[in-house]
Amino acid sequence: GAVVSQHPSRVICKSGTSVKIECRSLDFQATTMFWYRQFPKQSLMLMATSNEGSKATYEQGVEKDKFLINHASLTLSTLTVTSAHPEDSSFYICSARDPGGGLVDGYTFGSGTRLTVV
Amino acid sequence: KNQVEQSPQSLIILEGKNCTLQCNYTVSPFSNLRWYKQDTGRGPVSLTIMTFSENTKSNGRYTATLDADTKQSSLHITASQLSDSASYICVVSARTGTYKYIFGTGTRLKVLA
């Protein structure tokens, strides 16, 4: 089946620095990828929809300038958390549409990135 | 408002026992419903997916049911194993031009030896 690779799996950074998270679709092209954030014991919350070759669409309440999304190719989307603060510490997960989904939308998730800002 | 509610919030069972997790949704227009298993610190992994016309879908020891009339789904786990300890998330897809996922808050299952 389709595989989405996410890197790094864990990152610890100092407050005020920027962190880049990569999301790659392996063996399939993903024109659209999604970025989620998950706080402890809570459900996944959609942050933004990443579109290849165009600007990302952000959900209400998500700061565009803080969470920079670049979808430069059909297999790679990146999320950069700029000027990270401790409250940005969370679990970030990407997903991409599985081309094998047929008539039913199928989405495969990456393994997630645990970001800790100290 | 599109919502997905799951119950119970958490569950503890003994190894070998069966359990059933519930999912109620108010999502329209409905496209499909998925159950995901999410191990701690990992991304969700799809267990089953059901469209409007499907009532039951099995994946090994996991059996999902869907009642589109009452907008309810259940996930039944048979002969639980320690490795079943995880969060189980019900996700309903709304067909709104582009597909949109609505996530439930999940049920945290703990299987004890």
Map A13-27 to HEC letters: ECCCCCEEEEEEEEC
CB atoms within 10 A of CB A14: 8
Task: Find, in chain A, the residue whose alpha carbon is nearest to that of B31.
Answer: A104
Give the pLDDT mean for A103-110.
72
Considering only CA atoms, which of A58, A57, A94, A55 is closest in space to residue A76?
Answer: A94
CB contact under 8 A, B108 and A41: yes
Residue B97 has pLDDT above 70, yes or no: no
In terms of C-beta density within 10 A (0-12 exposed, 13-18 middle, 19 or more buried), how is residue B108 classed? middle
Distance CA A22, CA A10 (A): 12
pLDDT given at position A2: 76
- B53, two tokens: 């016309």
CB contact under 8 A, B49 and A104: yes
CB contact under 8 A, B43 and A111: yes
Q: How far is B111 from chain A (nearest CA, A)?
A: 18
pLDDT given at position A19: 97
- B85, two tokens: 């300890």
Give the pLDDT mean for A86-106.
78
| B107 neighbors B11 (Cβ within 8 angstroms) | yes
CB contact under 8 A, A104 and B42: no
Three-state SS at B58 = strand
pLDDT given at position A43: 83
CB atoms within 10 A of CB B26: 13
pLDDT in tens, B63-89: 999 999 999 999 999 999 999 999 999
Average per-residue pLDDT in chain B?
91
Distance CA B66, CA B46 (A): 16
| A118 neighbors A86 (Cβ within 8 angstroms) | yes
Q: Does A3 touch chain B (CB under 8 A)?
A: no
pLDDT in tens, B28-37: 888 889 999 9
| Pairing outcome for strands B107-112 and B10-14 | parallel
How many CA atoms does the CB half-sphere of B93 hold within 13 Å?
Answer: 20
Residue percentage of chain A with pLDDT more than 70 = 92
Give the pLDDT mean for A44-64.
90
Cα distances from B59 to residues B39, B48, B50, B77, in angstroms, run 17, 7, 12, 10
Q: Does A60 touch chain B (CB under 8 A)?
A: no
Considering only CA atoms, which of B21, B42, B27 is closest in space to residue B89?
Answer: B21
Distance CA B54, CA B57 (A): 7
